[in-house]
Amino acid sequence: MPAKNVDEITAEILDLASKSFRVPRAELAPGDDFFKKLGIDSLQALDLLTQLERHFGIELPDYELQGVSDFRTLAERILARVG
Amino acid sequence: MLDLNQYDSLAAALRDALDRFSDHVCLIEADRERENHRLTYRQFRDQSLPLARALEDLGFGADSRAAILMSNQSKWLEAAYAILYRGGVVVPLDYKLTAPEHSELLAHSKAEVLFIEYPLWRALCQAPGFSPETLRAIVVSEAPANADLGPARRWEEVPAGREATYVARKRQDWASIVYSSGTGGRPKGCILTNENYLEQCRSLTTWYPFWPGVRYLSILPTNHAIDFMVGFVGPFVCGAAVVHLRTLRPEFIREAFSRFKITYASVVPLLLKNVERSLRARFDELPPARRRMLDALIGVNRALTKNRPHPRLSRLLLPQVHKAFGGELLALIVGGAFTDPATLQFFYDLGIPVANGYGLTEASTAITVNDLRPFRADTVGKPLPGVEVRIAHPGPDGVGEVWARGKTIMAGYLDDPELTAETIVDGWLRTGDLGWMDDRGHLHLVGRKKNMVVTEGGKNIYPEDIERAFEDLPVKEFCIFAANYLWPVRQLGEMESLVMVLRPDGEGVQADGLRDAVAVRNRRLPDFKRVSGLLLWEREFPRTASLKIKRPELARQISSSVERGAVTPL
């Protein structure tokens, strides 16, 4: 399977976030602040991290979310572990 | 437990505890479904003393300072014990701060040695202005095999099996410097003495005893004064065990309660609400008849525990609920921020007392705690044994500033005699919080005199500390305030937010443009430090001769001429 790029991973995160937090997919963009856009707190953001782990089949330590608040940066962190 | 009156220092008490309880488990560390390890007190000693020896080899001794920058794990406590064993001063740093903030606090604390986790070390090395040369030794845990650590050494490289020379300390000697806040502007490093810890531990364990067999789940960061006390000192001097989770996600925390049969845990209001939400959702899914039965049993439990908790009875009445918490839980401890009384009552009615309290790092941790005799959801509890509380300059409604005095009050702020003199007057710690005492000796908190916010995650936020992130805003001047400081409401909690007051630069400034400019900078801050509202202000800010903003005066001008509703949400 060819390696995914950051855009593909971002798109998958947006799909998953849209489904799981019931926000229309069209309203989500890569640069969005996911705390605000999804209306979630820091604990719910950790839940999102768990869902992403399952989706991508990787382990993401909690510290990967430190200082991250937009989807694209999150995708970059995931890419570093998927790759 | 040990008789803490007999000891002159925290290290002396801990050293005896490691001998007395040598075969009991003291630490369990888990990550997701895996258990990393469990250590007895003897094994803990055997892991810590080589670190103390490494410190000794460096010439680290009485009053030397060493910082710990790690998330909750066994190595955190091993490092702390090694530092104390050598007579040193522990500087616990908040791992959730940013790398530049870590760099700043390291410099301020004058730490000579740093114990740090690899991801934090990697980030710290990239922080502008960070110079590892100021540190005599850096010990990094969890570094990948191929990682270049620069001047640092690996934890695993510390030679094992070596003993160290114990350095005795006195009660008034410093044990730690704990930063209660204050990056950016004026770091507030609270100096806590051996006496502060021993006395706080003695009074807390009077009401909430630990003993061998008790398991404490450590969720709050260990750098926080609460977890250092109830997730380290308290359990250790009583022979209890501490459980660390490397992944603090709600699902793993929930699972840990039953898996490790937890007795106590400290939580922040945010987590408590999260658990409440999931329990309520499960209750709502019950078929109507079972739901009615559950409500009836909760009612019976409420009546039977009116005067004090009856854990065994509650477990019999509500077995499913208690099973989910492991069946051994005696209390959840919550502090650091305002907790909704309805949430406290919800848990108490299920037979899970929430020991809500009130404290400050400046007072070691707690000043008041709910003694559960009876449980009160509407207060922050009674002063702990040995702590005096008074309400200074009360108004007609009895509300005044909360002052506290006793052996748990810090020695002062590091290198800031001026702030120390303002904060501790004649032995009384002026908390800056407003409250009143009822006729049963319970403290009620109603607001804050000071310009600050305590988040639901238990973080102290001082608006001055955040302003640096907005320095390049295209405005004439700006200032950030806690909304409650401008428009006090006699209620803490959800109303707490940060408001930026802006004086636009020139005419025709587009409010939308300013909003975007603030939003962009906001995103660079951790979510709990973000400004949540804007207020445009046309008048010049009042300033001192040295051009500092006169915040109290500006706040008075704003609150007397503008309503809270004028704030535009971001």
Top residue of A41, A59, A70, A73 to mutate, by most chain B CBs within 10 Å, is A41
Query: Residues B59-69, buried b or exposed e (16+ Cβ, 10 A)?
Result: ebeeebbbbbb
- Domain boundaries defined on chain B: 4-205+221-239, 268-448, 462-569
For residue B196, the model assigns a pLDDT of 98
Compare all CA atoms of chain A with the CA of B524 and give the residue at the minimum distance: A67
Residues of chain B with pLDDT under 70: 182-185, 336-337, 457-458, 490-496, 506-510, 546
> Which residues of A fall below an 8 Å CB-CB distance to B?
33, 35, 41-44, 46-47, 49-50, 59, 61-63, 66-67, 69-70
Out of B32, B96, B270, closest to residue A43 by CB: B270
**Beta carbons within 8 Å of B34's beta carbon, 6+ residues apart:** none
Chain A contacts of B120, Cβ < 8 Å? 63
Q: Tell me the DSSP string of B356-393.
A: EEEE-GGGSSEEEE---TT--SSS--EEPTTEEEEEES
For residue B488, the model assigns a pLDDT of 76
Measured between CA atoms, how close is A46 to chain B, in angstroms?
A: 6
For residue B499, what are its two tokens? 């408001």
Contact B250 A62 (CB under 8 A): no
Contact B270 A42 (CB under 8 A): yes
For residue B157, the model assigns a pLDDT of 95
CATH assignment, B462-569: 3.30.300.30
d(CA B313, CA B36): 35
**Residue B407 per-residue DSSP state:** T
**Residue B529 per-residue DSSP state:** G
d(CA B491, CA B503): 29
DSSP element (H, E) containing B242 = strand B241-245
**Beta carbons within 8 Å of B17's beta carbon, 6+ residues apart:** B2, B41, B236, B237, B238, B239
Count of A–B CB contacts within 8 Å? 43
Measured between CA atoms, how close is A4 to chain B, in angstroms?
A: 24
* Edge-first strand listing for the sheet containing B366-369: B34-40, B25-31, B241-245, B215-218, B264-267, B331-334, B354-359, B366-369, B382-383
Out of B246, B250, B526, closest to residue A46 by CB: B250
d(CA B41, CA B236): 9
Q: Which residue has the tokens 């007609």?
A: B396
B268-448 and B462-569 have identical folds? no
Structure confidence by residue, pLDDT tens digits, B392-429? 999 888 989 999 999 999 999 999 999 999 999 999 99
**Beta carbons within 8 Å of B437's beta carbon, 6+ residues apart:** B389, B391, B398, B443, B444
Helix (H, G, I), strand (E, B) or coil at B90: strand
Contact A66 B71 (CB under 8 A): no
Q: Does B271 contact chain A (CB < 8 Å)?
A: yes
Chain B contacts of A46, Cβ < 8 Å? 248-250
**Beta carbons within 8 Å of B180's beta carbon, 6+ residues apart:** B188, B190, B225, B360, B361, B362, B460
Contact B71 A69 (CB under 8 A): no
B4-205+221-239, which class in CATH?
alpha beta
Residue by residue, pLDDT tens for chain A (83 residues) are 567 899 999 999 999 999 999 899 999 999 998 888 888 877 788 888 889 999 999 888 877 776 688 899 899 888 888 76
Contact B247 A62 (CB under 8 A): yes
Structure confidence by residue, pLDDT tens digits, A35-47? 888 888 777 888 8
Return the CATH fold of B268-448: Rossmann fold (3.40.50)
Q: Tell me the DSSP string of A10-79.
A: HHHHHHHHHHHHT--GGG--TTSBHHHHHT--HHHHHHHHHHHHHHHT----GGGGTT--BHHHHHHHHH
The 10 Å Cβ neighbour count of residue B548 is: 9
Residue B75 Cα distances to B81, B141, B353, B378, angstroms? 10, 8, 31, 39
* CATH superfamily of the A6-82 domain: ACP-like (1.10.1200.10)
- Domain boundaries defined on chain A: 6-82
Contact B274 A43 (CB under 8 A): yes
d(CA B38, CA A55): 31
Residue A80 Cα distances to B173, B200, B232, B330, angstroms? 47, 45, 35, 43
Distance from the Cα of residue B393 to its chain's centroid: 29
CA dihedral B462, B186, B180, B465 (to 10 degrees): 30
**Beta carbons within 8 Å of B310's beta carbon, 6+ residues apart:** B304, B351
Residue B293 Cα distances to B290, B314, B318, angstroms? 5, 15, 10
